[in-house]
Amino acid sequence: MSGIFLSWSGIVDAILWGVRCFAPVDKWIPVLEELIKDFKTFPSQEIEARVTSSMFSALVKRQPHHPEIGEWEKRALYLEEASEDINFKIQIFCLIALHRSFSGDFQKASLAIDMLRQLTRTRDASPLPLISARIAESIYYHMTGLYEECLKAANDGLEISRNTGVHVADQILLGNAAGAALPLNDFSTANNLLARMALHLSSSSPHEKAHYYWLKTREALRRGNPEGASAYIELCMNSIMVSGQPFSLCISHLIKAKVMLSLKRYKEAEEQLSIGFEIAYRIRSTILEFLAHMIKALCAFAQGDDASGLMSLRKAFVLGKEKGYYNIVLDTPGASEMLCVKALEAGIEVEYVQEIIRKQKLIPEKAPLHVENWPWYLKIYTLGRFGLVKDNKPLHFSGKIQKKPLEMLKTLIALGGRDVKEEQVSDLLWPLADGDSAHSDFKVTLSRLRRLIGFEDAIKFQDGRLMIDP
């Protein structure tokens, strides 16, 4: 009996970690279910733990919609509590973090991530579980919009790989790091990481190839190159069909919808959306459903159907507010900002949308001055009174140290706020100072003004000229 269960576990692990093509596990999942019916119990708790880890992993990666996945998660947690094997503990919390992230349950995913942080502090863990933990962390951070943390987790995983010689997950970690660099518009870092992935693309698994082409699609969209994105998404779809990972398959259909939308091929975009919705509902992923509704809204607005667009937008933001989703990854420049403007204009989940704007620091290319409830980081009132409002709270100043920075801001505004020479400001604020002294006072006061505002880029200074960022 022991040999049968261990053989089953070995086969499934070989498929998931060796072949890394997930579809073949479909025939092995019911085999285990039959074995459990036949034998009633496991020969030992150690074997039960190993089989449970393999089964839970198979369900998370291939059948997240399986009716018993919740029971296997409970069984895994029970065995984790009873086990003293640090590697097993890490593996279980990695799977829980992935399962909950993919389904959109970020609250439970965050609890698993917290446990991984604690468990991986030990020196007793083996390299592969440590690397798996960094993969799970980077995926969670990416999906929740914590891109700096995602980059760090992925780079930490790559460092473990370098130090231990365990390189089985390098492509995944490189891809996760590149995926974090793209929303930050750090194309230099993203391209460097993608180039490293490309070096080993010929020997990569279908899932890794799909990940690479998915990232290249996103990069092309962000650079305003829908034709290039169209070529890459087809390569992505070819690989992901072989890979057989349903979450990634849904993501690929949704990004293909965005590509078709960018090319104004609306019928094809809607066809891809329909497939994406079907997969999202089937695997019970509310985060994918959220993303699909937003893309559907974009598609409707692009075709001038504002009524349908607002309906989809309302569905997305009602769901997003309920689940606590604050990360909008649409890749098309200006798309997130446009949807937020539309939502605020229509009064859709205003406070929630304002929080998305704040968390993602969204600033439309053209300032939506007609949207009264847009949550500007900083508002400056100059007509009839002078006042500063930061994050919707009036700023009150006292003391001599604040006087000169405020005078600099008022002077900058009075001089037009754009392309204002340093000498113009200095002549007005320090008329009796010599050149060196005035320059020193100027630099100190500008630094204080920026600290006062709390956002350095609000006041730009380049080539001897000042500008208020519009």
Number of H helices, E strands in the chain: 21, 6
pLDDT, residue 105, reads 97
Q: From CA 249, how far away is CA 461, in angstroms rounded?
A: 46
Which residue intervals of 303-334 are DSSP H helices? 306-323
Using CA atoms, how far residue 403 sits from 207, 323, 406, 414, in Å, is: 59, 45, 5, 16
Q: What confidence tens digit (pLDDT) does each residue in 39-72 have?
A: 989 999 999 999 999 999 999 999 999 999 999 9
Amino acid present at 460: K
- Average the pLDDT over 436-462 and give the result: 87
pLDDT, residue 17, reads 81
Confidence of residue 281 (pLDDT cuts 50, 70, 90): very high
Tokens for 306?
């504002």
Residues 6+ apart with CB under 8 A from 207: 20, 21, 22, 239, 240, 243, 245, 248
Confidence of residue 454 (pLDDT cuts 50, 70, 90): confident
pLDDT, residue 432, reads 82
* Structure-model confidence comparison of residues 45 and 122, the more confident one: 45
Which 3 state secondary structure label does DSSP give 421?
strand
Residue 469 predicted with pLDDT over 90: no
Would the pTM count as exceeding 0.85?
A: yes
Confidence of residue 394 (pLDDT cuts 50, 70, 90): confident
Q: From CA 222, how far away is CA 330, in angstroms rounded?
A: 9
Please say whether the beta carbons of 52 and 79 come within 8 A.
Answer: yes
Q: What confidence tens digit (pLDDT) does each residue in 142-197 have?
A: 999 999 999 999 999 999 999 999 999 999 999 999 999 999 989 999 999 999 99
Q: From CA 314, how far away is CA 310, in angstroms rounded?
A: 6
- Average the pLDDT over 374-399 and give the result: 82
Please say whether the beta carbons of 407 and 452 come within 8 A.
Answer: no
Q: From CA 395, how far away is CA 425, in angstroms rounded?
A: 23
pLDDT, residue 400, reads 62
Confidence of residue 124 (pLDDT cuts 50, 70, 90): confident
- Average the pLDDT over 389-401 and give the result: 74
- At the top level of CATH, which class does the domain 378-468 belong to? mainly alpha
Residue 234 predicted with pLDDT over 70: yes
pLDDT, residue 379, reads 84
pLDDT, residue 398, reads 65
- Average the pLDDT over 68-79 and give the result: 96
Q: What confidence tens digit (pLDDT) does each residue in 416-429 have?
A: 989 999 999 999 99
Directed axis angle between helix 45-62 and helix 86-103, to 10°?
20
Q: Considering the chain, what is the average pLDDT of its residues?
A: 93
Which 3 state secondary structure label does DSSP give 431?
coil
Number of Cβ within a 10 Å radius of residue 82: 10
Q: From CA 300, how far away is CA 305, in angstroms rounded?
A: 5
Residue 315 predicted with pLDDT over 60: yes
Residue 401 predicted with pLDDT over 60: no
Place of tokens 């969209």: 221
pLDDT, residue 390, reads 83
DSSP track, 25-75:
GGGTHHHHHHHHHHH-S-S-HHHHHHHHHHHHHHHHHH-TT-TTHHHHHHH
**Domain locations in the chain?**
205-375, 378-468
CATH numeric code, 205-375: 1.25.40.10
pLDDT, residue 399, reads 62
pLDDT, residue 169, reads 93
Residue 233 predicted with pLDDT over 80: yes
Lowest mean pLDDT among 176-190, 230-244, 433-447: 433-447
Q: How far, rounded to the nearest angstrom, does the alpha carbon of residue 465 sit from its chain's CA centroid?
A: 36
CA contacts within 13 A on the Cβ side of 320: 28
Rounded to the nearest 5 degrees, what angle is found at the Cα of 99, between the Cα atoms of 95 and 104? 145
Which of 317-326, 330-339, 437-446 is most confident? 317-326
Residue 378 predicted with pLDDT over 90: no
pLDDT, residue 363, reads 83
- Average the pLDDT over 330-349 and give the result: 94
Q: What confidence tens digit (pLDDT) does each residue in 286-305 have?
A: 999 999 999 999 999 999 99
Q: In what order do the strands lie in the sheet with 459-462?
A: 420-421, 465-468, 459-462
Residues 6+ apart with CB under 8 A from 312: 293, 294, 296, 297, 300
